[in-house]
Amino acid sequence: MIKGIKMNLETLQKISVQILSRDIPSYKRYLYSKIDFSSKLIGIKGARGTGKSTILLQYAKSLDFVPSKILYISCDHPAMSGVSLYEVATSFYARGGKLLIIDEIHKSQNFSSELKAIYDVFDLQVIFSGSSALQIEHESADLSRRAVIHTLGVLSLREFCELETKKTFKSFSLDEILSNHEYIAATIMKEIRPLEQFNNYCEYGCYPFFQESLVDYPSKLLEVINVTIDSDLCGIYNIDPSKLDKLKKIIYMLCSSKPYEVNISKLSSAVGASWPTLQKYLERMDAGSLIHIVRGGTGMRAVNRPDKLLLDNPNLFTVLCANSDIGALRESFFVSQLRLDHQVHYHDRGDFIVDDTLVFEVGGASKNTSQLEGQKGYVVADSIEVGFDNKIPLWLIGFLY
């Protein structure tokens, strides 16, 4: 067995050297600076196409290591078929290895127990990436205590503007935006036309691969959606392949739907599944970064109260929807930019309540504050460059990260 693994390690090492020798994007996503790379075991979760592999490669190239000290493997590569991560680590460590990078780790069986064993036995740094649907804390409490797990979201509007203009823009906390949005917006407007950038972002700016080809972007994004459902979610949750079309039907139904609470009976009937089964599908699609399930906020969890369902980000509307609902698209953008660092729920006196304290109403330029009277709330309006008082431009929410 060990002899076979050694032979396979030579193949893996050659593949690793080839991958590490390629040119990679110089732009570093927001998460790169937030990761403490001194940790021994680091995981990055996120949707396909968001740049997880690029972060792994950028870190590897930042080190002053000879190629033999780094092993980059992808668990969806044919050379990894049936190969134990622990056995690879054993041989790699014996040959003086220092950094083991594991991409697409959700494609490896029993990865939780093997990572735990690698962490406990070898003086190796291990960095891995996997689907946003990975539930490491549920699979292995021992592993979740050892690994530092980060989640990579889609590109923010700020990152998109940096890639498009080659300029640098500061990110702002939600508190900073709420208290000083007029000044912040005016400062950004000196550098860009925010509404132009926002419209472009909503059409094609959520995934870094837009830089490769705008013509091919829709087909590549459709591939991301299909592979996420057909391969990632199917493998992680052992979904019957014959049921996968139901997940795709749910996504198409959300395209043109108004962003109100879902009609349980209508959705269940259209998909051909009972509500308990449908709820499981929805939760798995949410975990896989295809949709957002926005649950009711404090005091609103009535029995059988339906949740609000939104596509994960505005670009999904572009490739899936013949006639997108503008309200749903605006809310999808709002939730996608906030959900990484804040709790977002829906609310009876506004569209959303954030962190159980701040109520937001999302709409067009004419949206007023009448619905927010008597509570601490804000209107987040599309099609305005600068806000006033508690009316904030929707595009500015894209500068949170």
Strands (E), 84-230: 99-103, 125-131, 148-152
pLDDT (mean) for 318-327 = 90
If pLDDT is split at 50, 70 and 90, which confidence band does 303 have?
very low
Sequence spans of domains, the chain:
2-152, 157-399
Check residue 287 and give its pLDDT: 94
Q: Is the pLDDT of residue 310 over 60?
A: yes
Residue that the structure tokens 């050297």 belong to: 17
> Does the domain formed by 2-152 have CATH 3.40.50.300?
yes
All residues at 6 or more sequence positions from 75 whose CB lies less than 8 Å from its CB, including other chains? 85, 102, 103, 104, 105, 106, 107, 108, 111
Lowest mean pLDDT among 66-70, 258-262, 283-287, 396-400: 258-262
Beta-bridge mates of residue 261:
308
Among 168-172, 246-250, 350-354, name the most confident range.
168-172
C-alpha torsion 228→232→237→240, nearest 10: 70
Average pLDDT, the chain: 91
Q: How far apart are CA 209 and CA 202, in angstroms?
A: 14
The answer to whether 226 and 272 are in contact (CB under 8 A) is no
- For residue 171, pLDDT beyond 90: yes
pLDDT (mean) for 301-309? 63
8 Å CB contact between 328 and 253: no
- Stretch 189-202: mean pLDDT: 98
Q: What is the pLDDT of residue 304?
A: 47
**Concatenated DSSP letters for 192-247?**
--HHHHHHHHHHH-SSGGGGT-TTTHHHHHHHHHHHIIIIIIHHHHT--GGGHHHH
**Separation of alpha carbons 191 and 161, rounded Å:** 10
Give, as one character, the DSSP assignment of residue 168: -
Distance (Å, whole) CA 72 – CA 15: 8
- Rama region for 356: left / alpha / beta (φ>0; ψ in -120 to 50; rest): left
Tell me the Cα Rg of the chain. Answer: 22
pLDDT category at 302 given cuts 50, 70, 90 is very low
